[in-house]
Homo-oligomer: A and B are copies of this chain.
Amino acid sequence: MMATNDFLDQAEAILGPRGLTQDPDLVEPWLTDWRGRFHGAALALAQPATTAELSALVALCAQTRVPLVPQGGNSGMSGGATPDETGKSLLVSLRRMNAIRALDRDAMQITAEAGVILENLHHIAELQGLRFPLSLGGKGSATIGGLISTNAGGTQVIRHGSMRALVLGLEAVLADGQILDALVPLKKDNRGFDLKQLLIGSEGTLGIVTAATLRLVPAVADRAVIWAGVPSIAAARGLLLHCQAAEGDALEGFEVMPQHCLDNVVAFLPDARPPLAGQNAWHALIELTASDSDADSLRDRAEAMIADAFEKGLLADAVFASSETQAEKFWQLREIVAPAERAIGPAVQHDVSVPVADMPAFVEAAVPAIEARFPGTRAVAFGHLGDGNIHFHVLAPPGVDGPTWQQGEGKAISREVHDIVVQWRGSISAEHGIGQLKRDELARLGDPVALELMRRVKDALDPHGLLNPGKLI
C-alpha cells in the first residue's frame, strides 16, 4: 500500500480540489448514520463529479488497496453508508453527481445520476405530468443511488413494486474501476445473467451505482383515500383481499396499525383527530388512484368496493377523505407513527416480512410472545400489510435508561423477534437492508446455502474486499 499522502495526492489529481477533502467540518457530518447508531472515521471524503472520475478513483483504490464506502443521502436505516472506525476507508459521496441525463416523456423514462435526491426527481417528473411512484420519509435527502443500492420500498410497493421493479437500466463502477454501462432501457433482454438485478440491493458491496434509467408512471389525476376500522388484523387481511379483487389495478396503498398506535399519534400531534368515532382493534388506510380525470368514476368504484365490504361483514366502520387536505391528514397519521412512538420512550425496531397470507397469524403470535418473554415491554406491529411487511417495534418498559436497555435487553429482544420471523419463513430485513446493523443476525440466521452463494459472488466481483467492507456479508 502506498503512503496515505501519495494516495490522497493522486486522488486529488483525479477529482480536483472540489472533489476531495479532509476538512473535519466537512467530513464529520457524514460519519454518523442518521439514526445516530453508528459512527466511523474516514481517510477523506471524495466527491466525484462524473462517472469517469469515479472510475479512475476506484481503479486507484483497487491498485492501492484502499477500501471505499459509497454514500448517497446518508439516510439509510442500517448503517450501510457509515465507514468503520479504523479511518482507513475513503468515504465516497455520490451527491455531486446529480444531473438528469435524459427524460423521455412518451416512453415515461428518466435517466438520473446517483446523487439526484428523490424529492427532486418527484418534482421533475411532475413537471412532465408524470410521477416516480416510490416515496418514503427520507425523500428530502435519500438519493437515487442509495435507493437502488438498498432496493428501497415505501408505501406504494403494493402497486408499483420496490426499486428493483422501477430500474430499467443501470450504470455502475465495478471494484476494479471498470464501468458497467447497462443504462439502455430494454424491456426484454435475454443476453445472460441479470447483472442489473445483481447490483440492485447489494448495498455497494459489488459495485457503485452511478446512474439509472427509471420507470415513470402517469401522474395521479384522482385518488380515493379511505380509513377503515376492523376487528382484527386477520379481518384487515380479508379486507385487503377484497380490495385487491375489486380494484387490484388501482390499489396503491394498504397500511395497517392497531388502535393504540393511532392513540399515540393523536396524543402526539397537536391537531390530529381520529378519523373514526369509535374504537377498533385495527385500522387500515387504503388508497386507490387513477391517472385519468374521470373523477366520479374512481370515487364511485371505491364507494362500491367499500359498500360491498360492509355487506360482506369485512369491516366495522369506514370513512372517505372528503378532500385532498383530509387525505393528507389521513396519511399524516400513518407517517407520524414512528415519531410519536419515539416520544414515548426507547424502543427496538424490526423491519420484517412474512408471506402476506401468514402476516395476521404471525402478528397474533409474535406480539404476545414477545410481551410475555420480556415483561413490561409493548410490541407494536404496523405498516405495509399489502406487502407482508410489518414494522415490528418493541417499546422498553417505562423508566429504563434507553441506551443501556437497547444494548442489553433490546438486543435479546431483537434476536428473539428475528428467531420468530425465521420460524415463520420470513425475512429479518424486508426493506431497510442489512448494512452493519443486521450483518451478524444475517450470518446467524440466514440460509447457509444462500450465504455461501453470496460470499462467492462477492469474492468473484470484489476479490480484494474493497467495496463497502463490513457491510451485508
Contacts and interface: CB of A to CB of B under 8 A. Distances in A.
Interface of A: 104, 106-107, 150-151, 153, 157, 162, 164-165, 174, 178-182, 184-195, 197-198, 200-203, 206, 218, 241, 245-246, 248-250, 291-292, 353-357, 384, 387-389, 425-434, 442, 446-447, 449-450, 452-454, 456-457, 459-461, 472-473
A425 B195 contact: no
A358 to B, nearest CB: 9
Contacts of A201: 190, 192-194
A350 to B, nearest CB: 13
Nearest to A106: B241
B190 A151 contact: yes
A241 B203 CA distance: 36
Closest 6 CB pairs of A and B: A460-B460, A197-B197, A188-B430, A249-B249, A189-B427, A456-B460
A417 B162 CA distance: 36
A389 B189 CA distance: 9
A197 B165 CA distance: 12
A317 to B, nearest CB: 24
Contact of A248 (B188, B200, B246, B291): B291
Contacts of A430: 186, 188-190
Given A195-B453, A456-B461, A457-B457, 5 more contacts: A184-B425, A188-B387, A191-B429, A194-B197, A195-B450
Given A449-B179, A460-B460, A388 B190 contact: no
Nearest to A438: B191
Given A193-B201, A197-B197, A450-B180, A153 B388 contact: no
A191 B442 contact: yes
Given A442-B192, A449-B180, A187 B356 contact: yes
B162 A188 contact: yes
B181 A449 contact: yes
- Which of A179, A192, A434: most chain B Cβ within 10 A? A192
Nearest to A439: B192
Contacts of A218: 245, 248
Contacts of A432: 190
Contacts of A387: 187-188
Contact of A357 (B107, B180, B206, B433): B107
Contacts of A153: 188
24 contacts: A107-B357, A157-B187, A162-B188, A164-B194, A165-B165, A178-B452, A184-B426, A185-B355, A186-B430, A188-B387, A188-B388, A188-B431, A190-B430, A191-B434, A193-B202, A193-B457, A194-B198, A198-B457, A218-B245, A248-B291, A249-B249, A453-B461, A457-B457, A457-B461
Nearest to A250: B249
Contact of A186 (B197, B246, B388, B433): B388
A192 B184 contact: no
Given A431-B190, A460-B459, A197 B195 contact: no
A250 B250 CA distance: 11
Contacts of A200: 194
A264 to B, nearest CB: 25
Nearest to A179: B449
Contacts of A434: 190-192
A164 B189 CA distance: 11
Contacts of A206: 193
B389 A188 contact: yes
A127 to B, nearest CB: 18
A355 B184 contact: yes
